[in-house]
């Protein structure tokens, strides 16, 4: 009889230790992902209106349709060949988020849409003042060839 009670007490103690231990682990996982976010912050921000090379073949320029502000703003990316001819053979994806509160307003990765002129367009819904980041991912034939980040303050 006494032996059974002792066993129950031991099981109870193990269970409560396991619960507190799992709480400890999830806290560590959280801080690890925060550290990962901090690393991402280190990537240099691309400047609007400047030319950036993509390998040997292409370069691109991006701009906003207006000064970034609350509401919907549109990012326009134009890709050119080294000879200066506008090119629309790439695929561009962009995902917006606020670095200071990752995940809170993340748009997920969305594809830029081409207009008739061959410009790549992506609308972004700015729902809160502060610093925003848009990570751009360029791919050719489904292969990622360039990644960069655009930051702006609202
Ligand atoms: Cu926010």
How close is the Cα of 97 to the center of ligand 1, in Å? 8
**Ligand 1 center to 127 CA (angstroms):** 7
Write down the pLDDT at residue 4: 60
pTM score, whole prediction: 0.72
> 130 lies in which domain range?
52-153
The string of pLDDT tens digits covering residues 54-96 is 999 999 999 999 999 999 999 999 999 999 999 999 999 999 9
In a domain, 92, yes or no: yes
Residues of the chain falling short of pLDDT 70? 1-43
Do residues 76 and 136 share a domain? yes
Q: Exposed, middle or buried, 41 (CB in 10 Å: 0-12/13-18/19+)? A: middle
Count of beta carbons in the 10 Å neighbourhood of residue 136: 23
In a domain, 1, yes or no: yes
Ligand 1 (ion): which residues have CB within 5 A? Answer: 98, 101, 128
Please check whether residue 20 lies inside any domain of the structure: yes
CA–centroid distance, residue 101 to ligand 1 (Å): 6
- Residue 132 sits in the same domain as residue 63: yes
Residue 154 CA to ligand 1 centre (angstroms): 11
């Amino acid at each position: 009889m006494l032996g059974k009670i002792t066993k129950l007490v031991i099981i109870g103690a193990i269970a409560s230790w396991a619960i507190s231990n799992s709480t400890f682990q999830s806290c560590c996982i959280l801080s690890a992902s925060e550290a990962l976010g901090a690393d991402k912050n280190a990537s240099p921000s691309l400047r609007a209106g400047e030319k950036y090379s993509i390998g040997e073949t292409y370069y691109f320029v991006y701009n906003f349709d207006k000064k970034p502000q609350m509401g919907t703003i549109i990012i326009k990316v134009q890709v050119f060949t080294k000879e200066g001819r506008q090119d629309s053979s790439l695929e561009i994806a962009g995902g917006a988020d606020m670095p200071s509160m990752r995940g809170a307003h993340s748009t997920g990765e969305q594809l830029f849409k081409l207009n008739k002129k061959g410009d790549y367009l992506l609308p972004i819904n700015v729902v809160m003042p502060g610093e925003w980041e848009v990570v751009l991912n360029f791919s050719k034939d489904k292969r990622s060839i360039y990644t960069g980040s655009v930051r702006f303050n609202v």
